[in-house]
Structure 1
């Protein structure tokens, strides 16, 4: 067996331990705290994975068929409705994320004022990226307006896009990381990693597709 690191008290340093009796494998560390078979955990993972899949499929379907535009008789109304649906799904995801953290054990290492304040700081930073991204892009730029033919005049390069690509996605991930630290939740940390992975996969499809839409813009305008 591999020796396990001694328990830490982040507010007071190393605890006094008998190293000869500590022999738990580091690889099993999170599994002592994270129940992957818990129905709440599975639901949270499904919500996290479903959201980017949903808005990408709906956006591409609209771009190809203009079905939502025809249903709502306006690309603007259709985009507002899709945006409202995405917001609802994001609130549902956050609710499921929070509930599973409450239902599973806390990590003593993180359950202190230092962990709480670091979590608060991360939430503040992440929120700045999310809010400033929304203000820079506007509603239609944020909620797939380009898939509805509502194109922006030029690429947004102001803050926070001047310092980070896809700041809304990574700001949202940072908020979840901070929320997990505030709850001292190893389950939250695992779910945050799932959020980051799903966003990373979504960007592999969104980025090239959006670039192609704008590449075709001059051709369509002639």
Structure 2
């Protein structure tokens, strides 16, 4: 997020890569790789710790599976609705959609990528009956809440400005 805000103020990544699209693809790929590392560390932390007996049952496992499935639906449908640059902070690079996306899954849930990802971690933690996983899921959710405190107003403002510019032209 800080790198994206820095880019939005300075455009230094766009200049270094010769294109805002290439710079966004670079940042997005870096974020994606860091997410893979985070998921790996999350899993390793869970499996290396003892299970919680109260969670180690078929009902909890099934609930975890449902959360994981729902999370995957929200994450993938968000990605398909936004595309790569929309998912990975393209708006900070000046890469905007025609209008803010309001179709599924955004018409069901605000910020479905973040909440779907959180559901994935929660589901995974429940499936592993992991108190460590539950704690880490809370941490991931809190990080997303903080990110949204910065990202939501920014996104709303840039699309408001874009609508104002388009309205003045017509």
Whether TM-score is above 0.5 comes out as yes
Structure ID, larger Rg: 1
Paired with 2:165 and 2:69, the residues of 1 have a C-alpha distance of: 42
Shift of 1:84: 0.2
Structure of greater relative contact order (alpha carbons < 8 Å, 6+ residues apart):
2
Paired with 1:211 and 1:121, the residues of 2 have a C-alpha distance of: 32
Paired with 1:216 and 1:59, the residues of 2 have a C-alpha distance of: 19
Q: Which residues of structure 1 form unaligned runs of 5+?
A: 1-55
Q: Alignment partner for residue 47 of structure 2, among 59, 78, 102?
A: 102
2:83 paired residue number:
138
Shift of 1:120: 1.0
Shift of 1:216: 2.7
Structure 2 residue 152 is matched with structure 1 residue 207: yes
1:170 paired residue number:
115
Shift of 1:113: 1.8
Secondary structure at the residue paired with 2:54? coil
Shift of 1:209: 1.5
Q: Deviations over 1:78-129 (max 9, x none)?
A: 1111000000010011011111111111001111222212111110000000
Q: Deviations over 1:32-52 (max 9, x none)?
A: xxxxxxxxxxxxxxxxxxxxx
Paired with 1:157 and 1:206, the residues of 2 have a C-alpha distance of: 16
**C-alpha RMSD over aligned residues:** 1.4
Q: Which has the higher helix share?
A: 2
- The runs of at least 4 consecutive aligned structure 1 residues that moved more than 3 Å come to 218-222
2:8 paired residue number:
63
TM norm structure 2: 0.94
Paired with 2:74 and 2:61, the residues of 1 have a C-alpha distance of: 20
